[in-house]
Chains A and B, each alone.
Chain A
Amino acid sequence: MLGFAQLFASRLVKALAILIAIVVMNFFLVHAAPGDPAMVMAGEAGAADEKFVEQLRQQFGLDRPLHEQLATYVGKIAQGDLGFSYRQQRPVWDILAERLPATLILTLTAFLLALAAGVALGTLAAITVGTWADSAITVVALLAYATPIYWIGLMLSLLFSIQLGWLPAFGYETIGAGYTGLAHAADVAQHLILPVITLALFYMAGYARLTRASMLEVRGQDFVKTAKAKGLSQSHIVTRHVLRNAILPVITVAGIQAGQLVGGSILIETVFAWPGIGRLAFEAVLQRDYQVLLGIFLVTSVMVILFNILTDILYGIVDPRIQAAR
């Protein structure tokens, strides 16, 4: 267990170093933008005479040496101050805090669904390899993987909300309904179904293919032969010996994708008008709202780092050799 704590601590220290590097890069990105931030702010505020810009520069310390500015910036970030969006007239952190839950609930649900369904389908395909069931799963996975994700989204909403009228076509909740408590949760869940399925289908296809290939490879290994020679039942061999080993590459890939997913899925959030980080980023780019963009950049980086740590820990639990190799 000591090895485990050590592993966690060393991962955390590395993550902190990466985070600092990202913050510093963020700072230089602002300075790389054409004109200085004061010009941008002045532009956004609507008045751009030389005196006002000079005043802004003094007010925000932009006339100070670069390293002093960097120190101030890093200090602010450390206090959780991500700056102020003049475009929206609100602190960046408030904007992000409002959007983050919607993204998390959408992407995490989709991710877990994709993982569970993908591994299950991949396993099924591997144990029925060469039969019609295997072919069917492989074809469906290929289709889901190859079809553009927004098109699937559009078709699903065309079918289920416009034709059949079963589910809402867009949005996070029914606006103006004023639901509270359980009713509100049910309302959000209903809105969640289509975007989650759309997003999950794509990732599920990947996991299914990966699981199938990995299972087929593990199935040929010596220890599976040992398990058969012990007289174990087929289902026991598949779950305890084959799947457990075959899941390792799936964890690696899923860990990388989980981080990216939480960064928001711009396409899905746009198609379903989902008020999440992805759509916020899209809007911020169109509006050249640098402060918000940088805030999103930082938050998503943190998410990627967090999921990488989680993946590493999970991997350490599943594969005992990982801890020993350190």
Chain B
Amino acid sequence: MTVPLLDVRGLSIALPPGADRPLAVDNLTFTLNANEILCVVGESGSGKSMTAHAMMGLLPHPHVRVSAGSLLFKGRDVLTMPEAEQRSLRGGRIAMVFQEPMTALNPLMRVGRQIGESLRAHTPLPAPARHARVVELLDQVGLPNPAELADAYPFRLSGGQRQRVMIAMALACQPDILIADEPTTALDVTTQKQILDLIRAIQAERHMGMMFITHDFGVVAEIAHRVAVMRHGKLVEYGAAGDVLNRPQHPYTRQLIASVPHYIEHRDDHAKSGAPLLVAEKVRKTFHVGGGLFRKSKPVVAGDDLSLTIHPGETVGLVGESGSGKSTLGRSIVGLIKPDSGRILFEGTDLLSLDAKGFRPYRRRVQMVFQDPYASLNPRHRIGDIIAQGPVAFGEDRNKALKRARELLAMVGLDGSAADRFPHEFSGGQRQRVGIARALAMEPKLLVADEPVSALDVSVQGQVLELLDDIRKRLGLAMLFITHDLRVAAQVCDTIAVMRRGKIVEMGTSRQVFTHPRDAYTRTLLDAIPGKAWHIPDDLQKAPVVGAAS
């Protein structure tokens, strides 16, 4: 019997006293072989990243430490090796790619040098040979003009390009094991597809053992050979990819797979009735970047000739990648941005022609739910006050508003007593519920939801989407739902507008956009959805969403 490349036996990682649980990772056992991709799946806090960090000696010393078990690399325990030997493994035999390409590179160092550092630490190559190797690596990860790019600073590169640089850096010393910690989570869907293709190709070519950490079962379906599912630091399911994906055993795995947004099932076409609630006509917005006393600023077109209609009770999805201008349109409708030209008609009144005073009544009727539930609630205010503030500002009696706040909290599935507590006492999903209650307190007719679930774990995501849909139906709300995720849009939207580079390239009913996309870009987006070939097991397709409070 051959020794596995990596053999993790009974690994436990202790958290400092006072953390929400004593062990971040609890008695974890798995193996990784050469020429294999092992996907470690779990939600935030499941301990999947901790495991990777332990392997790389990156645990925040001395608060978090390995308390039991061993990590055998080719039969030798990494944890008991002397520091110098561990260091030569790190970046040499075991390399890692991180989640955030925007912050994972030193902003003050040329990317070529950052890759070269790895070679300098682990190989005896002289400087010219190192440089040649860096250029070769940049070429291998598919970057254009590798020789020039080696001299660029990270801020010149896009997110996808930076992730390629990170991969080149990890490959520099031909490692045996590549650990990738959510390497595509921060990327746009088309970029994600490219990076996944690249990672898969490189892994197959070099016969590396790869540990791929992700929360997305679509990605798992795309690349995994074997899957390990983690929850609260424990391994709950472990097996071949086909088994785990198609015949999940553990209830938690089943729940996770059930909450994966799937676009096969979409709702019936929305029957448009009555006069449109909101009409955006030829909205245009240009931002000016840079500029100063003697320099001309650079114009960036964020929105160009944007036209859109929302009927009462309709949910319109605005889908696009980062920088496509989807948030610009959303913010223009709420009045946070003033477009350069065009009209935004709300029940026939042009919002853009109004002054601040005239616009005020419309602030009530159009409300926004923000992306980041951690940053959008004032940490020093009680939940009840946060919700009541809007109505009070519009002249409502404070006690009445607070009473209403409790009712709203019940409506979004939280206990009324939450009103007396502070935001930090709640989880991300709960905070997003508060954010929705806050928007509803104003009794709006139109809700603009800007990526309301993209900061949430997949199971929580499902619950919040369910809630939004339920409230929309009960209150007859119209909604503009802004998202980068086509799968999410498919679940909640009646109509979908696809945006690219400041323009709406396609708009139609959900069914039409998904089944008969007319624009080439829409097809590219659909094609890039990870795991589209994977059919979610039938018995999990309509699984009820578990629990109200997330």
Complex CA–CA separation, A230 to B91 (angstroms):
4
A245 and B117 within 8 A (CB): no
B292 and A326 within 8 A (CB): yes
Q: Which of A32-40, A95-103, A315-323 contacts B (4 or more CB under 8 A)?
A: A315-323
Is B107 among interface residues, defined by CB-CB distance under 8 A? yes
A232 and B56 within 8 A (CB): no
Is A71 among interface residues, defined by CB-CB distance under 8 A? no
A14 contacts across to B, CB distance below 8 A: 293
Is A240 among interface residues, defined by CB-CB distance under 8 A? yes
A222 and B57 within 8 A (CB): no
B166 contacts across to A, CB distance below 8 A: 226
What are the interface flags for B189-227 relative to A under an 8 Å C-beta threshold, 1 for contact and 0 otherwise?
A: 000000000000000000000000000000000000000
B290 and A231 within 8 A (CB): no
A231 and B121 within 8 A (CB): yes
Interface size in chain A (residues, C-beta < 8 A):
28
**Min CB gap B174→A, angstroms:** 14
A244 contacts across to B, CB distance below 8 A: 106, 108-109
B108 contacts across to A, CB distance below 8 A: 244-245, 318-320
Is A184 among interface residues, defined by CB-CB distance under 8 A? no
A6 contacts across to B, CB distance below 8 A: 294
B105 and A226 within 8 A (CB): yes
Residue of A nearest to B113 (CB): A240
Which chain A residues (230-250) contact chain B, with CB distance < 8 Å? 230-233, 236, 240-241, 244-245
A230 and B155 within 8 A (CB): no
Residue of A nearest to B154 (CB): A223
Residue of B nearest to A247 (CB): B108
Is A19 among interface residues, defined by CB-CB distance under 8 A? no
A229 and B96 within 8 A (CB): yes
Name the prevailing secondary structure of the A interface residues.
Answer: helix
State which of A10, A227, A231, A325 has its C-beta within 8 Å of the C-beta of B106: A227
A223 and B117 within 8 A (CB): no
Residue of A nearest to B56 (CB): A229
**Min CB gap B160→A, angstroms:** 17
B100 contacts across to A, CB distance below 8 A: 222
A231 and B91 within 8 A (CB): yes
A233 contacts across to B, CB distance below 8 A: 87, 121
**Min CB gap A85→B, angstroms:** 38
A236 contacts across to B, CB distance below 8 A: 117, 121
Which chain A residues (274-326) contact chain B, with CB distance < 8 Å? 318-321, 324-326
B105 and A228 within 8 A (CB): no
A223 and B104 within 8 A (CB): yes
**Min CB gap B58→A, angstroms:** 6
Residue of A nearest to B155 (CB): A321
Interface size in chain B (residues, C-beta < 8 A):
35
A222 and B104 within 8 A (CB): yes
B107 contacts across to A, CB distance below 8 A: 223, 245, 319, 321
Is B156 among interface residues, defined by CB-CB distance under 8 A? yes
Is A89 among interface residues, defined by CB-CB distance under 8 A? no
B294 and A13 within 8 A (CB): yes
Complex CA–CA separation, A226 to B97 (angstroms):
8
What are the interface flags for B278-299 relative to A under an 8 Å C-beta threshold, 1 for contact and 0 otherwise?
A: 0000000000001011110000
A241 and B91 within 8 A (CB): no
B402 contacts across to A, CB distance below 8 A: none
Is B95 among interface residues, defined by CB-CB distance under 8 A? yes
What are the interface flags for B61-103 relative to A under an 8 Å C-beta threshold, 1 for contact and 0 otherwise?
A: 0000000000000000000000000011111100110101001
B88 and A223 within 8 A (CB): no
Known: A223-B103, A226-B98. A231 touches B89 (CB 8 A): yes
State which of B90, B109, B295 has its C-beta within 8 Å of the C-beta of A231: B90
B292 and A10 within 8 A (CB): yes
State which of A221, A230, A232, A324 has its C-beta within 8 Å of the C-beta of B103: A221
Complex CA–CA separation, A259 to B92 (angstroms):
48
**Min CB gap A235→B, angstroms:** 12
**Min CB gap A305→B, angstroms:** 16
B294 and A324 within 8 A (CB): no
B92 and A231 within 8 A (CB): yes
Residue of A nearest to B291 (CB): A326
Which chain A residues (195-234) contact chain B, with CB distance < 8 Å? 221-223, 225-233
**Min CB gap A48→B, angstroms:** 49
A241 and B106 within 8 A (CB): yes
Q: Which of B87, B108, B114, B153 has the largest count of A CB atoms less than 10 A from its CB? A: B108
B294 and A225 within 8 A (CB): no
A326 and B295 within 8 A (CB): yes
A232 contacts across to B, CB distance below 8 A: 87, 91, 117, 121
A324 and B106 within 8 A (CB): no
Complex CA–CA separation, A6 to B107 (angstroms):
23
Q: Which of A13, A226, A229, A318 has the largest count of B CB atoms less than 10 A from its CB? A: A229
B290 and A225 within 8 A (CB): no
Q: List 9 A-B contacts (CB under 8 A).
A: A223-B105, A225-B98, A226-B114, A226-B166, A230-B121, A236-B121, A319-B108, A320-B155, A321-B107
Closest 7 CB pairs of A and B: A231-B91, A231-B90, A230-B91, A222-B103, A223-B106, A229-B96, A230-B118
Q: Identify 16 new A-B residue pairs, CB closer than 8 A, beyond the known A222-B98, A229-B58, A232-B117.
A: A10-B295, A14-B293, A222-B100, A222-B103, A229-B95, A229-B98, A230-B121, A231-B89, A232-B87, A232-B91, A233-B121, A241-B109, A245-B106, A319-B108, A320-B108, A321-B155
